Structure 1
């Protein structure tokens, strides 16, 4: 590639755009995970997790421990929390580079790390943090270390990889073993490496992983007994596949169109690369050659097949295999732009990528001109500078570096418009933030803010309030807790009526208009129909009877 300095500029630009997103607040599950970390400090208990004062069993504790350590060091700062996770993820980027280099060469490693760090899935879920965001790191590092062990037979690689499996189990449970196990296991099977398959060290790995997982299991047993252990190993995993615990999505191609978004702007390269990788293996009849590897396809296809059959589906579930997809993507992107037999394919890809770049800039323009058209002049100047860079790069001689440079500029422009202007505007319609601001300004030192809602989806109320109360779902919950006079309540119209029916004396502090930051319909995005999508929320204070 002739313009490597532009690639360095591209990743710096993309990271700066990501840093701008650190100021965007978090909601729903992302807020819940941060709140669990906050309650670790409040309870001074690092084993028994709680949310809203109630025992919590949904996820293992590693992300919550990280949140608690950050909050202990910097105060309750969502910016510091998001920055901390972003910095940890740099280790995963390095692991992607090292695995790509080990399996192929340094150029593949560098480009795969670049593609992982500059895709929309990375940007999205390092601002909307889930356990899968963190899971990427131990998963890719573990696969790298196991691959290094298979190649070098040095024991320390094996044991380091096994410790990383334990960390992955502490992040999201047994799903980590599925990804790592399918990646490493299928590689050993297809390469007929029976010496490694039947190595006695795998028996040693079991107690090591269980020992690493012990803090999570201890906390679950303390709070839920054997049912907590069953939940960790079975219910929370199999129950999401068959729908008995969670999930109703039966879309078999969900992760095909999800991948288009998650790996963008590299999606075309990715789909072509995965197709070429599968075709290569089929033509080789899955025989082992000197440069054969099955780690990437093994980890990707088995995991995505399981996810596709599961009833519980979410885009962030795909995160742990995006670095593996990036390695295949980088490998074939380099081959396509290097080998003469791909000349026609190069022309097709180049044309498609120009269209994608133009569409990304056009989407930025639609957001700034029509969705929230009050953007400051300096925002337009930055977008114009990026567009100028895009046009300049189009004049380069055709090559892979050209594709990469203008796609990074285009996706950076889109994310810049979102992080700097669009999302802050959308944030104004998240009623929970306004409620917390008023509560933090006016509430007394001993007054708490409770949530009285039928659905547990407003965890940011606890995270952003100075003194959180409890999540009360039903009238019986409210009667059981019986919040004292002067406590505050965040609720909706149904909740107000139920409180009135219970005879709770109330003062209405503020009536707020609400649309969730995670529910952006076309009617909401259209200024002319936005009002029709707004719901009413109430900030109430219980008065003396």
Structure 2
């Protein structure tokens, strides 16, 4: 399989991934919150304070919200403007995955690394959900690339860009990101017995410059929190935003002892191993084969030949081990490690392409994964019952079969690379299209916005549906406010009220005059378990009777 073929497959996967940006709806709860924070920055022109529902918000650093707010400034507030910068950072991550792979391996290995990167399920999903890890992947891969270049040649360009990407990562997720950025390089120095680099002035300068470039975050936190000890955050005053950024948000979460904790019962040492088995589909078997081959041939190779394997394993496993040891565990944490795993897979696949008649076990595994992914895509499409989804999956399966017939002389390469790719894209297409259709039918915010379209402009209040008010504010140009008690509703003036039927009696007596102008059986909280999502897609649960009133 030539490079042009691999490039087209990568582009095809990226286009399927990008099609999800056309959805008019923001899917996840975290994504809605992040959009609301960014929207406040854009509308208020207040780039220092993170505000949510009118209250000071202290959790994530500012960087991703600054980037999204800039997108809102340029394109207007919309779902597309929210997703676009995150997807661009996904592409940046892929670009530096290629550049980093080329430092160690051939062009074919680098392009195969990109193919793996753009088709890993959790990377594709995260590029559209747009959590902090989406931006973090681009920053971390850029930092790793430029620090490797700086290690080989101490040029000012590499120093400045390495420090800038590192600072971007720190201002996105915190100081722990520096472990992922530096662990591969430090492990490589240890392997090469270059201990003196650990205390070299060259690297202390790089560290100092990286910290200096994080000044915008520190200044913003000082202005919002440290300069205002009277503010109540986490139920107390005298809260330092800088201390939270440097310590509580990092070590507090690691030990699950900070102000934000996981109350589900603590972490499990094998949690992320189980996550990896589905999140890195369809290349899980390839990754394990790459690790086995790398370890088996390690002693036979020179120090220089092992450099790439050592760096990538160091970057992947040090952070993976830290994640596994922490008490605060969420599946999307591992997304930042997948580019390193993709390069390991790309190198292995490049070697395998030279002799496709070896490795029968891997071929069987890839066939099994292909059949599993296709079975899930077809079975779930039929189960949910959306005709357009069934048609799309049927078209993709037909395209794969047609490709197999046309390229039958390359059947082993297809089994190894192409069929698992098609299987993954089919399942991803099911998830994305089903999500869009389901939330278009049952999202409170999306449907309320449609029913309010064309009505006279007035503020909108959502009663005991805070997440709905945040999402509706992204779709609607009118001001949207949450209310948790009747006393928080206006006593004069015209406004619209969203309230569930079961809550109506609580607020009805406080309203002077109201008229129902809309209604629907919708879902307030869209996120949840996958079985819950499938029930929602079938219109079975968990729907609530939501009413829209014009109040005077």
TM-score by length of 1: 0.87
**Structure 1 residue aligned with 2:324:** 308
SS in 2 for 1:112: helix
**Structure 2 residue aligned with 1:335:** 351
Deviation at 1:95, TM superposition (A): 0.7
Tell me the distance in 2 between the aligned counterparts of 1:504 and 1:193.
77
Deviation at 1:229, TM superposition (A): 1.0
SS in 2 for 1:459: helix
**Structure 2 residue aligned with 1:463:** 474
**Structure 2 residue aligned with 1:326:** 342
Tell me the distance in 2 between the aligned counterparts of 1:365 and 1:227.
52
Instruction: Tell me: CA distance 1:434–1:426, structure 2 relative to 1, closer, same or farther (3 Å).
Output: closer
Tell me the distance in 2 between the aligned counterparts of 1:211 and 1:505.
58
CA contact (8 A) 1:11 1:114 kept: yes
Deviation at 1:22, TM superposition (A): 0.8
Deviation at 1:310, TM superposition (A): 2.2
* Deviates most, 419-428 or 290-299: 419-428
Tell me the distance in 1 between the aligned counterparts of 2:222 and 2:545.
38
Tell me the distance in 2 between the aligned counterparts of 1:271 and 1:479.
59
SS in 2 for 1:510: strand
Alignment of 1:107-506 (within 5 A): 107-225=108-226, 227-244=240-257, 245-247=260-262, 248=264, 249-278=266-295, 288-293=303-308, 294-338=310-354, 346-375=359-388, 379=392, 382-389=395-402, 391-392=404-405, 395-397=408-410, 399-400=412-413, 402-421=415-434, 423-442=436-455, 444-450=456-462, 452-453=464-465, 459-472=470-483, 474-475=484-485, 479=487, 485-492=493-500, 495-496=503-504, 498-499=506-507
Tell me the distance in 2 between the aligned counterparts of 1:237 and 1:492.
39
Tell me the distance in 2 between the aligned counterparts of 1:524 and 1:63.
28
* Deviates most, 404-413 or 505-514: 505-514
Deviation at 1:5, TM superposition (A): 3.8
Instruction: Tell me: CA distance 1:224–1:488, structure 2 relative to 1, closer, same or farther (3 Å).
Output: farther
SS in 1 for 2:519: strand
SS in 2 for 1:533: coil
CA contact (8 A) 1:490 1:537 kept: no
Question: Which digits, 9 at most, give the CA deviation of each residue in 1:155-193, with x for residues without a partner?
Answer: 532332122111111222213212112222222223221
Instruction: Tell me: CA distance 1:409–1:492, structure 2 relative to 1, closer, same or farther (3 Å).
Output: same
Supply the RMSD in Å over aligned alpha carbons.
Answer: 3.1
Instruction: Tell me: CA distance 1:206–1:154, structure 2 relative to 1, closer, same or farther (3 Å).
Output: closer
Tell me the distance in 2 between the aligned counterparts of 1:91 and 1:522.
34
Instruction: Tell me: CA distance 1:458–1:415, structure 2 relative to 1, closer, same or farther (3 Å).
Output: farther
Tell me the distance in 2 between the aligned counterparts of 1:73 and 1:450.
28
Tell me the distance in 2 between the aligned counterparts of 1:318 and 1:151.
28
**Structure 1 residue aligned with 2:26:** 26
CA contact (8 A) 1:190 1:287 kept: no
**Structure 2 residue aligned with 1:90:** 91
Question: Which digits, 9 at most, give the CA deviation of each residue in 1:406-452, with x for residues without a partner?
Answer: 2222222223334345642354222232123223443x434133452
Instruction: Tell me: CA distance 1:319–1:505, structure 2 relative to 1, closer, same or farther (3 Å).
Output: farther
Uncovered stretches (5+) of structure 1, i.e. residues with no partner: none
Question: Which digits, 9 at most, give the CA deviation of each residue in 1:104-124, with x for residues without a partner?
Answer: 333222211221112112210
Tell me the distance in 1 between the aligned counterparts of 2:153 and 2:538.
60
Question: Which digits, 9 at most, give the CA deviation of each residue in 1:18-69, with x for residues without a partner?
Answer: 2221122213111222222221121111222222332222222222222222
CA contact (8 A) 2:521 2:545 kept: yes
Instruction: Tell me: CA distance 1:104–1:387, structure 2 relative to 1, closer, same or farther (3 Å).
Output: closer
Deviation at 1:279, TM superposition (A): 5.5
Tell me the distance in 1 between the aligned counterparts of 2:269 and 2:512.
48
**Structure 2 residue aligned with 1:533:** 541
CA contact (8 A) 2:6 2:111 kept: no
**Structure 1 residue aligned with 2:235:** none
Alignment of 1:98-109 (within 5 A): 98-109=99-110
Uncovered stretches (5+) of structure 2, i.e. residues with no partner: 227-238
TM-score by length of 2: 0.86
CA contact (8 A) 2:469 2:480 kept: no
CA contact (8 A) 2:133 2:332 kept: yes
